[in-house]
Amino acid sequence: MRAKLIEQVPAIWDFLPLPQIRKEVVEELLQAEQGAAYDWIGILGSQILPIEIQSESRWICSKFCAQIIGLKNPQRYSPGNLSF
């Protein structure tokens, strides 16, 4: 896991209001998982194939976001269905 500042360009990015999310919660999870590897097997096993294989110690971006939002089974969410 890593953090990256991006230029917020509305023409490129979609921004969703998340008033229930506290900055401290995001920073705490990011700090706890700093340096964790990308979950290549998880992306294959949970997003491409419906076999629900994922790592407890590796992350994909949508899993991280679903975890922050507080969704159950965060590994099941793709970027597309996170915006519900």
CB 1 within 8 A of CB 33: yes
- Cα–Cα dist 48/2, whole Å: 24
How many other CB atoms are there within 10 angstroms of residue 16's CB atom? 7
Claim: this prediction has a pTM higher than 0.85: no
Q: What is the per-residue pLDDT across 42-76, written as a single tens digit (0 to 9) for each? A: 888 777 777 777 778 888 888 899 999 899 988 88
DSSP state of 36: P
- Does 5 score more than 70 pLDDT? yes
